[in-house]
Structure 1
Amino acid sequence: MKEDKDSRWFELECVPKNYIFSKEERPQNLDSPVCDLIPVIDLAKPKAANGHSQPVEEIFKASQEFGFFQVINHGIPEKTVNDAMSVFKEFFDMQSKDVATGIVQHKKAYIYTSSTDYVKDGVHLWRENIKHPCHPLEECIHLWPDKPTRYQEVIAAYLVEIQKLSSRILEMICEGLGLKQGYFKDTSEVQLLSSNFYPPCPDPSLTLGILPHHDPSFITLLYQGGSTGLQVMKDGQWVNVGGIPNAFVVNIGNQLEIISNRKLKSVKHRVVTSTHETRLSIATFVNPSPDCIIEPAKILVSELEPSLYTASRYKEYVHSNKAFGDYTSAIQNALHSES
């Protein structure tokens, strides 16, 4: 381990004990080649002969089979995305003593974690993270970090574009499910942003960037800048989500699985580390409003296909379930069979 007082917590020759997960939770077979099976969907494709747009059909199929897909030609300007990634890189590169050694709470609106990021049994994740609320944007923006100086301006511009894209994707999912147009219009917003910095790790087989988990959102949009490390559970095996420059990874969250009456999948995913590669990502969670009642859409429930989930308010669901990279699969607690 470096003795330089200005060195960062991850600049080590071996993984510290308090970053080593149990043998059952450590990633296995990291050196085994795994095909990138997650569908890549071009949102600029024209309408098909049946009147549905081709992306609608592809998104619906991917959401059923994988619970994950990537979108290209999504309409978000490349400069907007690059500026956001640059700002987060600056943020994580800051060598302030407060930021480098622990948790910073700024007006109780965001939390930055580094080596204090406990997740289970006193073990740390191999990452640094910042989370903050995003809605209503005009009320949240002044609570965000003021360093780097352009943080608020750049991230606000990024979130405006993310809101447009998420609304577009939800409309296509509505069409695929046969729900009325605008079904999610008044109940979904980009509620939370979470950016993660995963530095190189001396031994990726011992630790994790994020533990296996489900997202408690409608959908989550992730920009990973062409980097690798995100893995999705498919048929009992971990599948890599390929790093595609200027593509967004989209995954189905627990709330959309409930509304679709399990026609769409919220699947387990995790992040593994790398010996040489640095990974920087921006996740935006499109969530229901806190008082929104979440239950299967009535049009999707019948005698032949009864409701599989108990109705609950979103805020009560989140309060009673672990999420966002914790070790509990929150979706299970909503099922009738588990109640």
Structure 2
Amino acid sequence: MLHSTQEFLSGNAIPGASSALPVLDLSLMDGTAVEQQAFIQQLRLAARDVGFFYLTGHGQTIQKQQQILALARQFFALPLADKQQVQMIHSPHFRGYTGLGGELTRGQPDIREQFDMMREEAVPAQTDISPAWQGLIGPNQWPTALPQMKTELLDWQQSLSDITVKLMRALMLALEQPADALDATIKAGPYQHMKLIRYPGVDAKASSSKQGVGAHKDPGYLTLVVQDDQSGLEVETEQGWVAVAPLPGAFVVNIGELLELASNGYLKATLHRVVSPNSGIERYSCAFFMAAQLDATVPLLQLPSHLADEAKGPASDPNNPLFYQVGQNVLKGRLRSHRDVAAAHYAELAKAV
């Protein structure tokens, strides 16, 4: 089912959702030429005007999504000692468990606990760890108390990666580029980063902050989010902050800064945040971030003139410059977000960010 971005921008409700994000059906890309073109046109509008949308028809069942969220609940319900066994401070690759307030967004602590994982890889030979971003390459940490986590999450991460590659190629067609226009940047496999997240309830009267996650843009190509039935994710629009209500079975998708950069601002990376649930309520989600491989340099796409004329140029944050070189960009973000890991494993670099 397709809905116009005007429905979002005017605040009109979409059937089946209490939020007004566009709803796009990825299965249309496997349909007739007319269906494919309808999807590509809708994708272009959603990615240009909003930067956020719901994605259905992606091939992942509600049951599988619920299974992943149930695994997240199991992990966060473990005794603290079991979670600290895989605490991120032990990993120079920024993998593992982070407790409440352990990650910063724009310098402020987020009220969430999370488990981070990336592609399962061997550590490069010691002589090869240059430039510094190669320190991101390595194995994940896995809790011994939940041995099933490794297989289930690695399989899930790969399935989400495949969806984002298909979606990115559709975005290239929407920009009137060859579908494989950015394939050279993921030829060895896209950069993968996934989080299981728990947001505890916060008593607004007792706390000065309800920052589940502070306002930010995602740095990669594309993000997919599975939400439970609790609201909290919000998107900034010209009309103010809009709630992204859970839509059963749908992923929430947003455009990352690398696509904004590659399209000279035609595609929109949008500020978003998570507001903590009220006291007595917990919120769980799984977020997957796909970017170019770490050794890639993202190109500036040459858009046709009628699209180039609409490109606004990438938004620039002077306090958080974005680099075309992917590994440098990713490492900078991790150093800023996880100051304890940065100090433990990247002491000199940490001083510069």
Q: TM-score range by the shorter chain?
A: 0.7 to 0.9
Q: 2 CA distance for matches of 1:225 and 1:184?
A: 32
Task: Confirm whether residue 81 of structure 1 aligns to residue 65 of structure 2.
Answer: yes
264, 268, 285: which one aligns with 1:265: 268
Task: Confirm whether residue 40 of structure 1 aligns to residue 23 of structure 2.
Answer: yes
Paired letter, 1:58 = Q
Matches within 5 A, 1:47-62: 52-62=36-46
CA contact (8 A) 2:86 2:141 kept: no
Matches within 5 A, 1:52-131: 52-97=36-81, 99=83, 103-106=87-90, 108-109=92-93, 110-117=95-102, 119=104, 124-131=109-116
Structure 1 residue 148: Cα displacement: 1.2
Q: 1 CA distance for matches of 2:335 and 2:48?
A: 21
Q: 1:101 to 1:234 in 2, by over 3 A?
A: farther
Per-residue CA distance 1:303-333 (angstroms, 9 max, x = gap): x75994697311233445689979xxxxxxx
Per-residue CA distance 1:147-166 (angstroms, 9 max, x = gap): 31210111122112112211
Per-residue CA distance 1:187-209 (angstroms, 9 max, x = gap): 23252112210011111873210
Aligned to 2:178: 180
Q: 1 CA distance for matches of 2:85 and 2:101?
A: 8
Q: 1 CA distance for matches of 2:59 and 2:159?
A: 8
CA contact (8 A) 2:28 2:36 kept: no
Q: 1:277 to 1:132 in 2, by over 3 A?
A: same
Q: 1 CA distance for matches of 2:173 and 2:297?
A: 21
SS at match of 1:294: coil
SS at match of 1:286: strand
Aligned to 1:281: 285
Paired letter, 2:226 = Y
Q: 2 CA distance for matches of 1:107 and 1:58?
A: 41
Structure 1 residue 103: Cα displacement: 4.2
Q: 1:294 to 1:121 in 2, by over 3 A?
A: closer
Structure 1 residue 100: Cα displacement: 7.0
Larger mean CA deviation between 117-126 and 172-181 belongs to 117-126
CA contact (8 A) 1:214 1:266 kept: yes
SS at match of 2:219: coil
Structure 1 residue 86: Cα displacement: 1.5
Aligned to 1:212: 215
Aligned to 1:31: none
Gaps of 5+ in 2: 1-17, 123-136, 315-321, 339-353
- Supply the RMSD in Å over aligned alpha carbons: 3.5
**TM-score normalised by the chain length of structure 2:** 0.72
Aligned to 1:148: 146
Gaps of 5+ in 1: 1-34, 327-339
CA contact (8 A) 2:106 2:214 kept: no
SS at match of 1:44: helix
139, 155, 158: which one aligns with 2:156: 158
Per-residue CA distance 1:250-288 (angstroms, 9 max, x = gap): 100000001111111001000001214321111111011
Structure 1 residue 134: Cα displacement: 2.0
Give aligned-pair identity as a percent.
22
CA contact (8 A) 2:262 2:298 kept: yes
Q: 1:311 to 1:130 in 2, by over 3 A?
A: closer
SS at match of 1:285: strand
Per-residue CA distance 1:21-56 (angstroms, 9 max, x = gap): xxxxxxxxxxxxxx7221111223475775743222
Structure 1 residue 141: Cα displacement: 6.2
Q: 1:54 to 1:200 in 2, by over 3 A?
A: same
Aligned to 2:195: 194
Q: 2 CA distance for matches of 1:132 and 1:254?
A: 21
Q: 1:57 to 1:107 in 2, by over 3 A?
A: same
